[in-house]
Structures are given as structure tokens and as C-alpha cells.
């Protein structure tokens, strides 16, 4: 595999650092029409030819790089994009003794072709601000709960959106500062500007050229809004995290985790929330029972779901309110319409195609198991590669890459049993296979579920419930998957992820003593399978006797 990749790149790496449209066409013909959707914007914007060759030469003369016949480069690793993956990789590279540089766009809470910020999506417009808003919005539920525990307020608690956003932004500024310091303290050279690859060993940052033995592309992804009439009135998650005022009535289009998290946030802050999903269920790809459970519980908290409705157009009324026309009808009176309809890798206008880096149809950079692109000196990690788009996965990929490159220890990231959470309200945590995946891959599985009213809810009187699920291989007794929806699910699942990653069995779970009274103890006290799924008829006889043994009662 690696050798093949190298061979391809040899023919490509001879392309000159001075790019012309010819090279673009060259790659276009080479990439099995994958770049079909990508090349039109590239050629119309002609960003690549924007940096004048004169300037390039001037810089070159100054820094004496690239053409150095001794094979010396300015840097061992040049990283484009200082988000989770990029910062991790450059820090670790520097710690391993490499001379590392990283470039990043100027800071802004809204991302674009020209704005970004050290810390990346996670810190500036993803995990962190999202979780801060989740914390803020959860209080309203806690106030309600507290009534059941004897707390009374003279007047209903009111929420001031602008003070939350101000405090949130102050925290983001602090964090981006911390990330800059982390880079500085690790001796990683930080360059502000837009990085573009000009040849397999050269990156152009706003006209300045830097050569590097290895180039890492970790430019992440960005929200994507489909092209429908009136899309200019819609906001994406970047904007939703930094609105000047709180939405009174918001339509959220999409059924993925981002849609559900924002639905929870705005619902908690007492906006009128409508979620429009194309399918019957939310959270495609998640365990079916979890999908049903979370939607049911969110609806109980006041979110209105419009299922099997696709957005068609947005119109703005004279009073400024927005209407969403869908495949089923029109809903009026929205102050905001948010699209959470997916994210796209930020791979445009990076010079990737022109140096021969293969790009997939979805815009993601194609990489092998070591995160190497089709050009051997160019590597890519994180959302730009669209593998599993999670911060800790980008971190894992970053660490693995630096071990491969600078520790002489070729390391593949291990994508087995990666736990994940959705910070909806109630939240979801899960690790390993869904029931559907387990049945498909393992055939014979035992399913253990618990659906209960937690102690807190019996006192608060609120209709909150918790759902838990274990998926166990009938053949090996190994726990293949664990899922939960309910309070603290993300915190609870982390420890179990260690157990599942280590390949532990249901017997190991049973041998563990519970912590009482917690919700988590339920995972080690599930005695009787809720159902047994058998693919082969052969094994169908056995289970019943096994069932009694498992039940142990």
C-alpha cells in the first residue's frame, strides 16, 4: 500500500511549486472524476494563481529553501490548521525533537475561508462553547427539579443571553490564548495566515514560502447549508453559538447530533423549538432504541419534532419573521432558522489537487491507515479526512502520526470501540456496536436493557427516565456495545469504554460490585437478557437454557 502510494506521488511530485491551471487539470484527469464537484469553484475563484510568482521568488531568495540541494528543509513538519489535531501533532512532534511549524487563520467565532483561530472548531465553535451553552440551558431543568426538592423562587428565573455569550466569549479568548501558549512552550512556530500547499514540500502562507520534510493538513470541517431558495436567511452552528440575541422561535433543520444539541440548548433557554428531520428518526447511525428514546424524551421537554419533512425554501415576511417551506407544508413565525445538515471538509483552495493529493467525493482527503495521503510527504488528520469526526480521534490520529514520523514507530490509530457522546438533554453516551451492527457482524447476541425512572425524578416529579443497553456476544460473552441515554451518560460511559476496549465480558461486568446509589451501577447489575437474537437456527435451541443460567435467579 505504502509503496504504491509512493509510486503515484513520484509522478506528481515533479510538479513545479509555481502552480498553473494546467496542473489543476492534470490532477483532475488523474483523480477518477472525484474532483468534479470541486474543480469548478477552484477555477472560478482562481485562488491558486492569486499569489504572484514575483513575491514567491522574493521570499524564496530570503529563506533559501525548497531548492536546497542538500535536502534541508525549513521544518521537519509544517502543519496547516491549528485545531485539536494540528496542535496535538505539532506539539508532540516538537517534543520528539522535530522542528515544527503550524499556520492558522485569524481568530473569529464564525469560520470561513479566511477566518479560523488557534484551537479550531472544538475550542472556538464546537465542543467547548456548545458544552458551555448546554450547561447554561440545563439550569432551567434544574430549577424545575429543585421545586420538587423544596426550593422556591419569588419570581421565575430569567435568562440574559448577552451576559452568557459575553462570558462564553471571554472563556474562548482565554482558551485560544492557552493554545497559543502551549504551542509556544513546545517550541512550535506559529504563523498566522492561510496555508496553501504549492509542492509536496512547500507551503505558502500569504505569500511566504516554507519548506518542510512533511506537511500535515489538519484543516477540519465547516457547517454546510444546502442550496435552497432563501438559504441566506439561515444560520449554521457557528452563528448559533454566537447570536446577538436569543431566538424566540427557532427551526432547526437536521436530525444529527448538532441539531439535537442545539434543540436542547434553545429549549432549555425557553425558546420555542421546532426540529425538522428528513427521516422518521433522529440520529442516523445510532442504536435504534436510543434514537427513539432520546426523541421521545426531548419531546417531553417541549421540543416539537417534524419528521419526514425536507426543507424546500425559506421566506422572509414583512415583519422580519421567517417561514420554512418543507416537503409537507409551511411553518411560519420563526425568528431563526438553523441548518444542522452536515459538515464538509475544509479542503478547497489548499492546493491539494494540484500537488496530486487525492480528494474523495465528499471533499475529504484520502489517507491510508497511517494518515498518509497519496503524496508521501503530505499527511492529513482530523475532520479534513472525514473518518470519525471527533476531537479525541483527531488527537489520537495526531499522536499516532508523530510516532510514525518522529519516533520510528509506525502507528495506526485504532478506531475500535471509540466512545462518543451527544450532549442533548437528556444526553447520550455510547461505545462499541449498536444492536444493528452487532447482529450484522456477530449474528448471535444477547441484549440487556434497563429503562427506569431515576431517584432524582421520583422526587422532582418530572417525567425524566434513563435508558441503558448492553449488547453481548452469545458466543464469546464479550460486551460488544454499551449505550445510555439519561443524566450523566457521557461521564458514565467513559469508564465502561476502557472495559469494552479491553474486550471484557459480561461475566466481568457481573463480577464488578456496584456503587450505590448511582445510575451507573445498573450496568453491572443487569441479570436477565431482555431478548436474544439468533441468526443461525442451530444455536436457537441453546439460548433458553442459557437464559436461565444468566438470570441466575
Partner 1 sequence: MARKMLKDGEPDLNKGAEEGTNFDFDLFIIGAGSGGVRAARFSSNHGAKVAICELPFHPISSETIGGVGGTCVIRGCVPKKILVYGASYGGDLEDARNFGWELSENIDFNWKKLLQKKTDEINRLNGIYKRLLSNAGVKLFEGEGKIAGPHEVEVTQLDGTKLSYSAKHILIATGSRAQRPNIPGQELGITSDEALSLEEFPKRVVILGGGYIAVEFASIWRGMGANVNLVFRKELPLRGFDDEMRAVVARNLEGRGINLHPRTNLTQLIKTEDGIKVTTDHGEELIADVVLFATGRAPNSKRLNLEKAGVEVDKTGAIVVNEYSCTNIPSIWAVGDVTNRMNLTPVALMEASHFANTVFGGKTQKPDYRDIPYAVFSIPPLSVVGLSEEEAVEQTNGDLLVFTSTFNPMKNTISGRQEKTVMKIVVDAQTDKVLGASMCGPDAPEIVQGIAIALKCGATKAQFDSTVGIHPSAAEEFVTMRSVTRRVTGSAKPKTNL
Q: Pick out residues in 168-187 that bind partner 1 (CB under 8 A).
A: 168, 171, 174
DSSP string, 32-54: TTGGGTTHHHHHHHT-TTTS-HH
Does 267 participate in binding partner 1 (rule CB under 8 A)? no
Using the minimum distance from each CB to partner 1, give the nearer residue, 351 or 429: 429
Residue 528 in contact with partner 1, rule: CB under 8 A:
no
Asked whether 82 and 183 are in contact (CB, 8 A), the reply is yes
Select 323 or 385, whichever has its Cβ closest to partner 1.
385
Largest CA distance in the chain: 82
In the complex, what is the shortest distance from the CB of residue 272 to partner 1, in angstroms, rounded to a whole number? 19
Query: Is-catalytic flag, 516?
Result: yes
H or E element that contains 290 = helix 288-300
Instruction: Report 133-152 residues binding partner 1 (CB under 8 A).
Output: 135-136, 139, 142-143, 145-146, 148-152
Number of residues that bind partner 1 (CB under 8 A): 80
Is the CB of 103 or the CB of 188 nearer to partner 1?
188
CA angle 248, 244, 159 (to 5 degrees): 55
Going across the sheet that includes 445-452, the strands are 420-422, 428-432, 479-485, 466-473, 445-452, 531-533
Complete DSSP assignment for 333-389: EESEEEE---EEE--TTSSHHHHT--B-TTSPBP--TTSB-SSTTEEE-GGGG-SS-
Residue (333 or 490) nearer to partner 1, CB = 490
258 is in an annotated binding site: yes
- Which of 366, 521 has the CB closer to partner 1? 521
Residues 56 and 204 sit within 8 Å (Cβ to Cβ): yes
68: left (phi over 0), alpha (psi -120 to 50) or beta: beta
Ligand-binding annotation for 195, yes or no, is yes
Sign of the CA dihedral 247, 425, 133, 391? Answer: negative
411 to 450: interface string for partner 1, x by CB under 8 A: ---x--xxxxx-------x---------------------
CB of 432 vs partner 1, minimal distance in Å: 12
- Retrieve residue 185's grid coordinates: 512552550
Residue 254 known to bind ligand: yes
Q: State how far the Cα of 371 lies from the Cα of 399, in Å rounded to an integer.
A: 11
Q: List binders of partner 1 among 486-515 (CB under 8 A).
A: 488, 490-499, 501-502, 504, 508-509, 511-515
Q: Is 244 in the site for partner 1 (CB under 8 A)?
A: no
Contact flag: residue 167 with partner 1 (CB under 8 A)? yes
Decide if residue 521 touches partner 1 (CB under 8 A): yes
For cell 428531520, the residue is 277
Active-site residue list? 516
From the annotation, which residues make up the binding site for NAD(+)? 254-261, 342
From the annotation, which residues make up the binding site for FAD? 131, 195, 383
Amino acid at each position: 500500500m505504502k509503496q504504491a502510494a509512493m509510486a503515484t506521488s513520484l509522478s506528481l511530485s515533479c510538479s513545479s511549486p509555481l502552480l498553473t491551471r494546467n496542473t489543476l487539470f492534470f490532477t483532475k484527469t488523474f483523480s477518477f472524476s472525484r474532483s468534479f464537484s470541486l474543480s469548478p469553484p477552484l477555477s472560478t475563484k482562481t485562488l491558486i494563481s492569486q499569489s504572484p510568482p514575483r513575491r514567491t521568488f522574493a521570499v524564496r531568495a530570503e529563506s533559501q529553501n525548497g531548492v536546497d540541494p542538500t535536502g534541508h528543509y525549513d521544518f521537519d513538519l509544517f502543519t496547516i490548521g491549528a485545531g485539536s489535531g494540528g496542535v496535538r501533532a505539532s506539539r508532540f512532534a516538537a517534543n520528539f525533537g522535530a522542528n515544527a511549524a503550524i499556520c492558522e487563520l485569524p481568530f473569529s467565532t464564525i469560520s470561513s475561508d479566511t477566518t479560523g483561530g488557534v484551537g479550531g472548531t472544538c475550542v472556538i465553535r464546537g465542543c467547548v462553547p456548545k458544552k458551555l451553552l448546554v450547561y447554561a440551558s440545563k439550569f432551567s431543568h434544574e430549577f424545575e427539579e429543585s421545586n420538587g426538592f423544596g426550593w422556591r423562587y419569588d419570581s421565575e428565573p430569567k435568562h440574559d443571553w448577552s451576559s452568557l455569550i459575553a462570558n462564553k466569549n471571554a472563556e474562548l479568548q482565554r482558551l485560544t490564548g492557552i493554545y497559543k501558549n502551549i504551542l509556544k512552550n513546545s517550541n512550535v512556530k506559529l504563523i498566522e495566515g492561510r496555508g496553501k500547499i504549492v509542492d509536496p514540500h512547500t507551503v505558502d502562507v500569504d505569500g511566504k514560502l516554507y519548506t518542510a520534510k512533511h506537511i500535515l493538513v489538519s484543516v477540519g470541517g465547516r457547517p454546510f447549508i444546502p442550496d435552497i431558495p432563501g438559504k441566506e436567511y439561515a444560520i449554521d452552528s457557528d452563528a448559533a453559538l454566537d447570536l446577538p440575541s436569543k431566538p424566540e422561535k427557532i427551526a432547526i433543520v437536521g436530525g444529527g447530533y448538532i441539531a439535537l444539541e442545539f434543540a436542547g440548548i434553545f429549549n432549555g433557554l425557553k425558546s420555542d423549538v421546532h426540529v425538522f428531520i428528513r427521516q422518521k428518526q433522529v440520529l442516523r447511525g445510532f442504536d435504534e432504541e436510543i434514537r427513539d428514546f432520546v426523541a421521545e424524551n426531548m419531546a417531553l421537554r417541549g421540543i416539537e419534532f417534524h419528521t419526514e419533512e425536507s426543507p424546500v425554501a425559506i421566506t422572509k415576511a414583512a415583519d422580519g419573521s421567517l417561514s420554512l417551506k418543507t416537503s409537507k407544508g409551511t411553518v411560519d413565525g420563526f425568528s431563526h432558522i438553523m441548518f444542522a445538515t452536515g459538515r464538509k471538509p475544509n479542503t478547497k483552495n489548499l492546493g491539494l489537487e494540484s500537488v496530486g493529493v487525492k480528494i474523495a467525493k465528499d471533499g475529504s482527503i484520502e489517507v491510508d491507515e497511517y494518515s498518509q495521503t497519496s503524496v508521501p510527504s503530505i499527511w492529513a488528520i482530523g475532520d479534513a479526512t472525514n473518518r470519525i469526526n471527533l476531537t479525541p480521534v483527531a488527537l489520537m490520529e495526531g499522536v499516532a502520526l508523530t510516532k510514525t514520523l518522529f519516533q520510528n514507530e509506525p502507528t495506526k490509530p485504532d478506531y475500535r470501540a471509540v466512545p462518543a457522546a451527544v450532549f442533548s438533554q437528556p444526553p447520550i453516551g455510547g461505545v462499541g456496536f449498536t444492536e444493528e451492527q452487532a447482529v450484522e457482524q456477530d449474528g448471535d447476541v444477547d441484549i440487556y436493557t434497563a429503562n427506569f425512572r431515576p431517584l432524582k425524578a421520583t422526587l422532582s416529579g418530572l417525567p425524566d427516565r434513563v435508558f441503558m443497553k448492553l449488547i453481548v456476544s452469545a458466543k464469546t460473552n464479550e460486551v460488544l456495545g454499551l449505550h445510555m441515554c439519561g443524566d450523566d451518560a457521557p461521564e458514565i460511559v467513559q469508564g465502561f469504554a476502557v472495559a469494552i476496549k479491553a474486550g471484557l465480558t459480561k461475566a466481568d461486568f457481573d463480577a464488578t460490585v456496584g456503587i450505590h446509589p448511582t445510575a451507573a451501577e445498573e450496568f453491572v447489575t443487569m441479570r436477565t437478557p431482555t431478548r436474544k437474537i439468533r441468526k443461525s437456527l442451530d444455536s436457537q435451541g441453546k439460548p433458553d437454557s442459557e437464559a436461565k443460567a444468566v438470570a441466575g435467579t
